[in-house]
Amino acid sequence: MTAARIAGPAKNNQPAKTKPGDGSREDGIVQNGGPRQRLGRRAARARRVLTSSAASTIAICVGVLWSVPTFGLLVTSFRGSVQDIRTTGWWEALKPSNWGGFSLDHYGTVLSGTGTANLADYFVNSIVMTLPAVVIPIFLALLAAYAFAWIPFRGSNILFVGIFALQVVPIQVAMVPLLTQYVNLGLNSSFWVLWLSHAMFGLPLAIFLLHNFMKEIPRSLVEAARVDGAGHVTTFFRIILPLMVPAIASFAIFQFLWVWNDLLVALAFGGNTPDLAPITARLSDMAGSLGSRWHLLAAGAFVSTIVPMGVFLALQRYFVRGLLAGSVKG
């Protein structure tokens, strides 16, 4: 079954992939034929190796090992008695004699909140923070990537390397100067600081990723559009954008998960107030100032995971395709 699932999408992709190739056959049938055959052989060999029963066994073992801690956390989140969690392992709860110990108490406490905090406020904050923080860098990075890929200008290579080099600047270094600027601009204590910060920190990778993907679009396609009289704007919206959907979706998942799970940027720029702080901040506070309510953390973690999980499952298809798209093409 695993084998069928791995092979399935690859087969389906075959006809779709030859389509752009058909268009370019007039100008380069010889150049295209060689690499493609070699690629086909390589793909076949990879498929043979990866779908062998030994490989499947290893994959299943790794998968199980990988999921065990998460599963343990899930079981723990349903254990009602604090004493039990403290003194025995989570697997004890799975024994039929202990099934009576399961309860939804911790979830109840997490959702209803402790102290004055209301989880819903933080949940809304997380959504308000995350959506623009994903959309802004994608929008800007698409424009930048288009310029780098299809508009030749002096110094574009140096500029591109410079942008990617920004990747190595640690966030921590930028924090105090950036916060100073926000205070000067009067943006402090608003969602703008979070949107802008996440956009800035996400842009280098976004531009790099989208640029590389955009470069893969056959030049002939763009040139044909130009011959037909399309300007940059038309080319961008009618030709490039539809082809970019997998790449955009895969970066969107990256950025979404990073922003949703972020605690550092949110606390450093926004502060830990119910007006701005995301759900991760609430989660880290839930255990109390001195960690005396640590037993709530397991349930809290699962509540905060629901949204990223939903997003990931819904966009997973693009994610895999988007990642492969950058790497496999010769």
Partner 1 sequence: MKRSLGRVVVAAGMGLVLAGAVAACGTDDKEAGGGGDSATTADCSAYEQYGDLSGKSVTVYTTFVDTEGASYEESFKPFAACTGLTVKYEGSKSLTADVLGRIEAGAVADIVAFPQPGLLQQAVATGKVLPVPAAVAQNVDQYWTASWRNYGSVGGTLYAAPLGASVKSLVWYSPSAFTQYGYEVPQTWDDLLTLTADIAADGQAKPWCAGIADGDATGWVATDWVEDMVLRSAGPQAYDQWVNHEIRFNDPKIVDSLKEMSKILRNDSYVNAGIGDIVSIAATPWTDAGTPILDGQCFLHRQASFYGGNFAAENADVGENGDIWAFYLPSSDPSSKPILGAGDFVAAFADRPEVVAFQTFLSSPEWANEKAKVTDGGWTTANNGLVKSNLKSAVDQLAYGLLADPSAEFRFDGSDLMPAVVGSDAFWKQMTAYFAEVKPEQDVADAIEAAWPKD
Binding site for partner 1 (CB under 8 A): 82-83, 86-87, 111-121, 123-124, 127, 175-177, 179-180, 182-183, 188, 242, 245, 249, 267-268, 271-273, 281, 284-294, 303, 306-307, 310-311, 314-315, 317-318
Closest to partner 1 by CB, 147 or 206: 206
Please state, in angstroms and rounded to a whole number, the distance separating the CA atoms of residues 272 and 85.
Answer: 29
48 within 8 A of 62, measured Cβ to Cβ? no
Closest to partner 1 by CB, 50 or 287: 287
- Enter the tokens of residue 62: 């790794």
Neighbour-count burial of 263, counting CB atoms closer than 10 A to its CB (0-12 exposed, 13-18 middle, 19+ buried): middle
Closest to partner 1 by CB, 92 or 121: 121
14-42 b/e (C-beta count within 10 Å ≥ 16 → b)? eeeeeeeeeebeeeeeeeeeeeeeeeeee
Closest to partner 1 by CB, 127 or 328: 127
Q: Write the CA distances from 230 to 20, 144, 193, 225, 245, integer angstroms.
A: 19, 19, 38, 5, 21
State the minimum distance, in angstroms, from the CB of residue 239 to partner 1.
12
State the minimum distance, in angstroms, from the CB of residue 149 to partner 1.
21
State the minimum distance, in angstroms, from the CB of residue 118 to partner 1.
5
Does residue 175 come out as left (phi exceeding 0), alpha (psi in the -120 to 50 range) or beta? alpha
State the minimum distance, in angstroms, from the CB of residue 215 to partner 1.
21
State the minimum distance, in angstroms, from the CB of residue 72 to partner 1.
17
Look at the alpha carbons of 174, 175, 176, 180 in this order and tell me if their dihedral is positive or negative: positive
Closest to partner 1 by CB, 152 or 177: 177
State the minimum distance, in angstroms, from the CB of residue 155 to partner 1.
33
Closest to partner 1 by CB, 102 or 319: 319
State the minimum distance, in angstroms, from the CB of residue 117 to partner 1.
7
273-285 b/e (C-beta count within 10 Å ≥ 16 → b)? eeebbbbbbbbeb
Closest to partner 1 by CB, 137 or 147: 137
Kindly give the interhelix angle for 279-286 and 297-328, rounded to the nearest 10 degrees.
Answer: 140
User: What residues pair up with 102 in beta bridges, in sequence order?
Assistant: 79
